[in-house]
Amino acid sequence: MFMLGWAVVECALVRHDAGHRIAYIGPGAGIAVVGSALAVLTAILSAFVVLVTWPVRRAWRAMRARQALGAARVKRVVVLGLDGLDPDLAEKFMGQGDLPHLSELRAQGGFERLGTTWPPLSPVAWSSFTTGTNPGKHNIFDFITRRPEGYGPAISSVRIERPRRHLPVGPYRIPLGRPRIDGRRRSRPFWSVLGDAGIFSAVIRVPITFPPDRFHGVQLSAMCVPDLLGSQGTFTFFSDQPVAGAMPEGLESEGASTSGHFVIVERRKGRVSGAVPGPPNPVRADGRPLQAPFTVTQGRAGATLEIGGASVALPLDAFTDWISVVYAAAPGFRLRGICRFRLRRFDDQRFEMYCTPVQIDPLRPVMPISHPVVFGHYLARRQGSFATLGLAEDTGALNEDRLSDEAFLDQAHSIDDERQSMFFDALRRVRRGFVGCVFDAPDRIQHMYWRFTEDDHPALRGRPNTHPDAIRDLYRRMDDLVGRTMKAIGRDTALLVMSDHGFKSFRRGVDLNAWLQREGYLVLKDEGGTKEVASIGDIDWSHTKAYALGLAGIQVNLRGREPQGIVETGAERDALVAELAQKLTGLKDDEAGQVAVHEAVAREQVYRGPYVEAAPDLVVGCHVGYRVSWDAAVGRTGRRVFIDNARAWSGDHCVHPNLVPGVLVTNQKCIGGPARIVDVAATILELLGVRRPDYMDGRSLVREEG
């Protein structure tokens, strides 16, 4: 059934008319709705081989596990990954008595600032955690990378290529074969090393695990799992009236950006009719977008949503449970996803309703999101449907005021509850080996609620401070999670509570492309220079030496690498990189009277390994309060180098790595000296009695016994 469930997720999101928002950069074109007979036969033969060889493999693993566990210091290692937990805030709140469990854990073992990566971004840092290597060895340098065939942005961690051959049947084109999903992270994850030693691992929602790894254990994928449209999260907002900020398809204004669809519904008295947008039809030649019709009816007892044959109560300002959405692609072929609705308003004047991105259904996944496939099915059967999108907390909807601050917190807490249920189930079932789970709430809530910690933040000016304790409450919530975990483990379990980076305020954006233009390194075509925000297509590549793309990188327009490169490899390129680094380091924002760029460095200074040449030529580390601007991150060029950040997304960590270390709090006694995120994998291996592979850059942080 899984083989027959592949669905095309057209990457219509990498379009200039979508504004190139980060959320709109999908992994590539999609997935076929039907596997070929050969693919099905291959799956059957593979299953037969697995069954025949299973007793031998089990005996071999058991022998290896006995050898490893004989040298192990503990029976089990548990990692609580609290994405973005900041050491300064943690120590502040511990000092004020708000985090008793973290304080207790610190007393048992230690509290370390955990050195992060260049740049300190979740996909980069968690990949270093996973592999024990620097980015030059694991090949993840940012959320975004340059498309190999051009200058546009693409997601850095995965590419999906659809089948090239199709069988025409009337108006339909049946894909022959299945798509290729290529994970871009390189090096081996430490749980594969543990698996080689016969040690079982449960890996839940660790970023950059899509597509899922194959190893001795179970895994649920996380960051970069797309929605059913192939994007990193596209919500839908329904209204019976034109919505401020909504743009008819094909008429998007220059510089506008959106993370969602805006749909005008039909209203007749107390009944509203509309449809949830789906992906392009994968089996039609015209790729006509699929739709899932629904109605909302207002009655005496409240509103009722009817969709796909289901009838669901729709209370005001509350999320529904996960609801199945079915798209009819062709006779006998359907695509299934899940989503949640939140009714914002339904009165005589207006109807407004929010719908989450339509996500992959863990019971009927259109592409693999777990290892083995049945693990996701097991979780959904045990606890009900759950968020599968890599970036499930809808920051875009809050940025664009389609979710209120209260609604976003509801959503984030609900997703966190789902994650905790998965984690504690794994903790009960895996008594020996490794259990690791990453919780995203600290990252998402600090991103969106930092403005409430600063009354003069550009995103809060002229507005009431309605959530001054949101971040403190978040840390208390995480402390409660730590406390419950400590109660659930024994002395034979090593507990590591860690984060990939810290957090700081994001008050001003640095438009690196505007700076490159001002300094003469980037040239716009005549028509591009008249626009408020110029796109990648407006750049005159025949006269451009360098351009910015992503949250921390500048690329040289290199001859032979870029399609229209003009800078020669070797001395000319190296001199240009050195010149840019010298000019950018210490760059000052004269209007604010602050240093905006802490340091810019050539990639060769911070990376080593076989994939260094895949990195941006120059890596930029901003100062506290600054980050690469929203436009520059996706390759655009604005008119101003520095601009206030007035979005709800008001906290960030994409600054110089020395300014945002993560945390490591553990019940183990650690060695002195600096701790780094690349050291955690080696530490886990040593605790479980497995030798560290030579390719790892990290060292064990555990103090020698005796």
Q: What is the DSSP string of 242-283?
A: PPTT---TT-PPTT---SEEEEEPEEETTEEEEEEEEEEPTT
Is the domain of 100 the same as that of 217?
A: yes
In this prediction, residues 125-148 reach a mean pLDDT of: 96
Tens-digit pLDDT profile for residues 487-525: 999 999 999 999 999 999 999 999 999 999 999 999 999
**Residue 166: which pLDDT band, with cuts at 50, 70 and 90?**
confident
Closest listed residue to residue 584, CA positions, set 637, 547, 621, 613: 621
pLDDT in the model for residue 15: 30
Task: Tell me the CA distances in angstroms from 598 to 110, 113, 316, 621, 625, one per residue in order.
Answer: 30, 20, 47, 6, 11
Same domain for 603 and 639, yes or no, is yes
Structural domain harbouring 97: 72-140+185-224+390-501+671-706
pLDDT digits (tens, 9 = 90+) for 6-26: 333 333 323 323 333 454 344
Q: Is residue 690 one of the residues assigned to a domain?
A: yes
Q: Does 344 map to a domain?
A: yes
Average pLDDT over residues 546-566: 97
Query: What's the pLDDT at 116?
Result: 99
Domain for residue 330, yes or no? yes
Q: Which pLDDT score is estimated for 63?
A: 63
Tell me what the mean pLDDT of segment 666-670 comes to. Answer: 93
Q: What is the pLDDT of residues 395-406, one digit of tens each?
A: 999 999 999 999
63 belongs to a structural domain: no
Percent of the chain whose pLDDT exceeds 70: 88
Under the banding of pLDDT at 50, 70 and 90, the label for residue 159 is confident
pLDDT of residue 302: 87
Asked whether residue 456 carries a pLDDT value surpassing 70, the answer given is yes
pLDDT, position 67: 65
| pLDDT band of 245, cuts 50, 70, 90 | low
Q: What is the 3-state secondary structure (H, E, C) of 7-31?
A: CCCCCCCCCHHHCCCHHHCCCCCCC
pLDDT at res. 258: 74
CB of 114 within 8 A of CB of 83? no
Reported as a single tens digit per residue, the pLDDT across 289-325 is 999 999 999 988 889 999 999 999 999 999 999 999 9
At residue 257 the predicted structure's pLDDT band, cuts being 50, 70 and 90, is very low
How many domains would you assign to the chain?
3
User: Per this entry, what is the length of the chain?
Assistant: 706
The rounded distance, in Å, linking the Cα atoms of 342 and 351 is 12
**What pLDDT is attached to residue 672?**
73
Question: Integer distance in angstroms from the first to the last C-alpha of the chain?
Answer: 55
CATH number at residue 405: 3.40.720.10
> Could you tell me if 415 and 526 lie in one domain?
no
Q: Considering the domain boundaries, does residue 10 fall inside one? A: no
93 shares a domain with 218: yes
- The answer to whether residues 525 and 458 belong to one domain is no
- Over residues 609-641, the pLDDT tens digits come to 999 999 999 999 999 999 999 999 999 999 999
111 shares its domain with 210:
yes
pLDDT band at 562 (very low <50, low <70, confident <90, very high): very high
Check whether residue 556 and residue 539 sit in a common domain. yes
Q: Is 80 exceeded by the pLDDT of residue 530? A: no
Are residue 696 and residue 584 in the same domain, yes or no? no
Q: Is residue 28 part of a domain?
A: no
Tens-digit pLDDT profile for residues 33-46:
433 344 445 545 65
- For residue 466, what are its two tokens? 């309605």
The helix (H) or strand (E) run that includes residue 114 is strand 110-115
Q: What is the pLDDT of residues 179-188, one digit of tens each?
A: 788 899 999 9
Which pLDDT score, from 0 to 100, does residue 651 have? 98
CA distance 177 to 255: 39
Question: Residue 495 has what pLDDT?
Answer: 98
* pLDDT digit string, tens, across residues 415-444: 999 999 999 999 999 999 999 999 999 999
Residues 306 and 427 in one domain: no
Same domain, 455 and 516: no
Residue 30 placed within a domain:
no
pLDDT at position 131 is: 99
Asked if 116 and 680 count as a contact pair (C-beta separation under 8 A), the reply is no
At 364, list the tokens: 């009927």
> Could you tell me which of 451, 450, 271 has the C-alpha nearest to residue 351?
271
Same domain for 336 and 462, yes or no, is: no
pLDDT at residue number 437 = 99
Res. 173: pLDDT tops 90: no
Task: Give yes or no for a cis peptide into 372 (omega within 30° of 0).
Answer: yes
What is the rounded CA–CA span in Å between residue 35 and residue 42?
11
Q: Are residues 261 and 338 in the same domain?
A: yes
Is 172 a member of any domain?
Answer: no
CB 451 within 8 Å of CB 414: no
